[in-house]
């Protein structure tokens, strides 16, 4: 089975009216050029979301203006040149086939088969339980059987709700409420998972070594189906620069299978005229590599087959530079010690502001952490963080008890830690607090006691979030108190109450610590997402360090915007130092250059290792180092954008 290292992905959704598909395509020039970029894995369309094929099909519809077998020629050339090729199929969208077989498309509650807004590829989507299912499987098998390919990628397995007669019949038979949108959406997701698994089974019968990749509907349900996961993120459009960090810290915890990090050469999908600055593309790929992901660059194939020299020049420059560090990226795994526990759906993980804030806060604090759900093992972590809204199920309670029994720490915030009914803390004795209901202060302020107030201004500080009331049980320390405002914000019939200064410190806890459990009454991660309050990050950091002062990495003279990630290979640890700052320009965040930083001190915990050499990759320039109290310390004189420091 091929292990993708440097991948390229081409979108090639070509409107039926394009009259000259493939007319200029020089397959040898194209494959020679991508080979020169160091690309070992190419994902290319066998059939696009317009429902048109780029190979000689007996089952589907070939693009009407394509005069030859484009995919076939490509597979021959890739095979000759040692480039592994994966065939792309769009499952959720297939416009031409949906038009010819209207009973293959999804049907909505209002009886329409077209979706709004009209001007997206998702205007006509496909039902995974209709005749389309067999048709798609037959096409995938046709390509897998007739061409030399290394893999199959199935895209857009999205849970489009469908109440067509076939789906309604199955839902009725399963006792599902086919009138409830949530139920229908869940059914659609299950149908997508079933289709993904069935396609994989059929493909593996033809070639057991075939790589299988599905985009959507989930990662956790496809753990035994996919050969690798691909995280698709274009920060300049849909996801912004907080999306990839969440996914990078999460997906890698699910298994040992490779994770690809697909960014794009453009600003958004469908953007044929966009070419992102070199540093924008490179910084994304480096972020992935620093977190154990392999790079993948998305682009558009020009339907005529024009060789896009400017794009390939940029890709070549980026890939060649990154490849000089390959010996330190190869099979390197992230080394982590803290977990943000977020046992929610993939939809929630992808979109959660709370999770983005927690990931941002820990990254700014240079902590080495993962994002985990119930699908991962939590036993290796020193600290578990439950951000804002994690109610405790039986499984969570069991895991947390084991964690605390081992003398390790927990930090929870807001309603996290409450039982499912939200009536009491699930582990009241361990938390050392009683749940007393919602806190009504709006706005709520807090003051911190002497033990944990380092670096905080001595004044009531805003929490920028809602919270609960706590009663500290005997033996529990109240480390911060809530401060009541004069009035709550609101309209009282006469006045708009908008000026609501703090009035008095109350006895109500804002932060309690009992043994190794800290609890914040308010949703400080929501507050951090809302206002980026440096004080909220500071109090969180003070609590974290009170529990866990010997963190894996310690830095001095390193700006907050910089990031530090640690990966490991046998006998060495790699410290990835980032200094890129996305700037919001109008509607779009952008990175155009790295920021130069100087005289950065980095200390890495030895963990029973004796590092005998510290150097900068790839030139292997030795850095002076010393050993201090369980750490190895070095100084990086100058770094711009990215540096890779190796402790060997």
Nearest approach, Cβ of residue 100 and Zn ion (Å): 17
Nearest approach, Cβ of residue 235 and Zn ion (Å): 34
Q: CB under 5 A: which stretch of 24-32, 160-168, 177-185, 269-277 binds Zn ion?
A: 160-168
Q: Give the one residue of 23, 59, 99, 164 binding Zn ion; rule: CB under 5 A.
A: 164
Nearest approach, Cβ of residue 133 and Zn ion (Å): 10
Q: Which is nearer to Zn ion, 169 or 599 (CB)?
A: 169
Q: Within a 13 Å sphere around the CA of 584, how many CA atoms are in the beta-carbon half? A: 5
- Phi/psi at 441 (nearest 5 deg)? -65, 130
Q: Which is nearer to Zn ion, 161 or 292 (CB)?
A: 161
297 scored as a contact of Zn ion (CB under 5 A): no
Nearest residue to 400 via CA among 361, 345, 336, 343: 343
Nearest approach, Cβ of residue 157 and Zn ion (Å): 14
Q: Which is nearer to Zn ion, 14 or 191 (CB)?
A: 191
Can you read off the two tokens belonging to residue 122? 């998702």
Rounded to the nearest 10 degrees, the angle between the axes of helix 309-323 and helix 278-290 is: 40
Distances (CA, A) of 398 to 345, 375, 418: 21, 15, 14
Q: Which is nearer to Zn ion, 195 or 332 (CB)?
A: 195
**610-629 burial by CB neighbour count: b if 16+ within 10 A, else e?**
ebeebbbbbeeeebebeeee
Q: Are 127 and 91 in contact (CB under 8 A)?
A: no
Nearest residue to 187 via CA among 163, 154, 209: 163
Burial of 419 (0-12, 13-18, 19+ CB in 10 A): middle
Dihedral of CA 601/605/611/616: which sign?
negative
Q: CB under 5 A: which stretch of 5-13, 58-66, 71-79, 157-165 binds Zn ion?
A: 157-165
Q: CB under 5 A: which stretch of 167-175, 324-332, 414-422, 464-472 binds Zn ion?
A: 167-175
Q: Which is nearer to Zn ion, 167 or 322 (CB)?
A: 167
636 scored as a contact of Zn ion (CB under 5 A): no
CA distance 187 to 478: 47
Q: CB under 5 A: which stretch of 55-63, 67-75, 126-134, 247-255 binds Zn ion?
A: 126-134
- Build a one-symbol-per-residue string for 238-267: x at contacts with Zn ion by CB under 5 A, - elsewhere: ------------------------------
126 scored as a contact of Zn ion (CB under 5 A): no
Count interface residues toward Zn ion (CB under 5 A): 5
Q: CB under 5 A: which stretch of 86-94, 164-172, 467-475, 560-568 binds Zn ion?
A: 164-172
162 scored as a contact of Zn ion (CB under 5 A): yes
Rounded to a whole number of angstroms, the distance between the first and last alpha carbons of the chain is 31
Distances (CA, A) of 89 to 50, 53, 150, 480, 503: 11, 9, 14, 56, 62
CA distance 574 to 647: 6
477 SS3 class: strand
Q: Which is nearer to Zn ion, 168 or 436 (CB)?
A: 168
**Cβ-based neighbours of 251, under 8 Å, separated by 6 or more:** 219, 229, 231, 259
Place of tokens 């890129």: 580
Nearest approach, Cβ of residue 116 and Zn ion (Å): 19
Q: What DSSP designation does 82 have?
A: T
Nearest approach, Cβ of residue 469 and Zn ion (Å): 48
Q: Which is nearer to Zn ion, 129 or 465 (CB)?
A: 129
Q: Which is nearer to Zn ion, 14 or 159 (CB)?
A: 159
167 scored as a contact of Zn ion (CB under 5 A): yes
280 scored as a contact of Zn ion (CB under 5 A): no
Q: Give the one residue of 93, 127, 193, 480 binding Zn ion; rule: CB under 5 A.
A: 127
Nearest approach, Cβ of residue 201 and Zn ion (Å): 22
Nearest approach, Cβ of residue 182 and Zn ion (Å): 16
Q: Which is nearer to Zn ion, 164 or 581 (CB)?
A: 164
Residues in contact with Zn ion by CB under 5 A are 127, 129, 162, 164, 167
């Amino acid at each position: 089975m091929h292990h993708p290292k440097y991948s390229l992905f081409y979108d090639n959704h070509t409107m039926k009216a394009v009259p000259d598909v493939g007319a200029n395509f020089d397959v040898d020039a194209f494959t020679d050029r991508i080979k020169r970029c160091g690309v070992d894995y190419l994902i290319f369309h066998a059939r696009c979301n317009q429902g048109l094929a780029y190979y000689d099909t007996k089952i589907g519809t070939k693009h009407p203006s394509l005069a030859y077998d484009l995919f076939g020629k490509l597979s021959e050339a890739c095979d000759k040149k040692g480039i592994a090729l994966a065939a792309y199929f769009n499952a959720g969208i297939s416009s031409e086939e949906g038009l010819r077989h209207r009973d293959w498309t999804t049907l909505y509650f209002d009886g329409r088969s077209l979706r709004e807004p009209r001007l997206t590829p998702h205007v006509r989507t496909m039902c995974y339980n209709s005749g389309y299912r067999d048709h798609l499987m037959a096409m995938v098998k046709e390509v897998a059987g007739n061409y030399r390919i290394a893999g199959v990628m199935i895209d857009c397995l999205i849970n489009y709700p469908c109440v067509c007669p076939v789906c309604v019949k199955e839902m009725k038979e399963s006792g599902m409420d086919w009138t409830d949108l949530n139920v229908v959406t869940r059914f659609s997701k299950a149908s997508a998972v079933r289709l993904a698994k069935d396609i994989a089974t059929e493909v593996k019968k033809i070639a057991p070594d075939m790589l299988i990749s599905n985009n959507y509907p989930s990662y956790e349900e496809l753990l035994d189906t996919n050969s690798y996961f691909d995280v698709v993120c274009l920060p300049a459009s849909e996801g912004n620069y907080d999306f990839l960090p969440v996914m990078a810290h999460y997906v890698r915890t699910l298994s040992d299978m490779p994770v690809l990090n697909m960014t794009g050469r453009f600003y958004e999908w469908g953007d044929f005229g966009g070419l992102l600055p070199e540093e924008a593309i490179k910084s994304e790929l480096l972020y992935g590599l620093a977190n154990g992901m392999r790079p993948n660059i998305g682009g558009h194939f020009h339907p005529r087959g024009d060789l896009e020299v400017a794009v390939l020049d940029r890709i070549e420059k980026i890939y060649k530079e990154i490849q000089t560090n390959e010996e330190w990226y190869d099979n390197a795994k992230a080394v982590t010690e803290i977990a943000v526990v977020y046992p929610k759906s993939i939809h929630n993980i992808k979109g959660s502001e709370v999770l983005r804030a927690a990931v941002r806060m820990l990254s700014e604090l240079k902590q080495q952490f993962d994002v985990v759900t119930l699908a991962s093992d939590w036993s290796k972590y020193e600290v578990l963080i439950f951000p804002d809204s994690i109610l405790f199920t039986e499984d969570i309670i069991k895991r947390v008890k084991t964690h605390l029994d081992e003398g390790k720490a927990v930090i929870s915030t807001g309603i996290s830690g409450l039982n499912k009914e939200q009536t009491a803390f699930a582990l009241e004795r361990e938390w050392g607090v009683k749940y007393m209901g919602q806190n009504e202060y709006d706005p709520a302020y807090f003051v911190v006691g002497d033990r944990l107030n380092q670096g905080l201004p001595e004044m009531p500080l805003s929490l920028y979030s809602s919270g609960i009331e706590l009663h500290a049980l005997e033996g529990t320390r109240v480390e911060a108190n809530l401060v009541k405002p004069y009035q709550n914000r609101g309209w009282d019939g006469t006045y708009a109450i908008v000026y609501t200064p703090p009035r008095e410190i109350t006895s109500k806890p804002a932060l309690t610590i009992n043994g190794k459990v800290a609890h914040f009454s308010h949703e400080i991660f929501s507050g951090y997402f809302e206002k980026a309050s440096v004080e909220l990050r500071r109090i969180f950091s003070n609590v974290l360090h009170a529990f866990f002062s010997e963190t894996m990495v310690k830095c001095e003279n390193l700006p907050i915007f910089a990031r530090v990630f640690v990966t490991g290979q046998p006998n060495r640890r790699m410290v990835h130092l980032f200094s890129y700052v996305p700037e919001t320009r109008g509607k779009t965040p952008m990175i155009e250059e790295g920021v130069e930083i100087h005289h950065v001190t980095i200390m890495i915990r030895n963990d029973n290792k004796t590092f005998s050499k510290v150097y900068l990759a790839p030139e292997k320039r030795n850095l002076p180092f010393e050993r201090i109290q369980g750490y190895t310390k070095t100084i990086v004189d100058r770094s711009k954008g990215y540096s890779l420091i190796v402790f060997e």
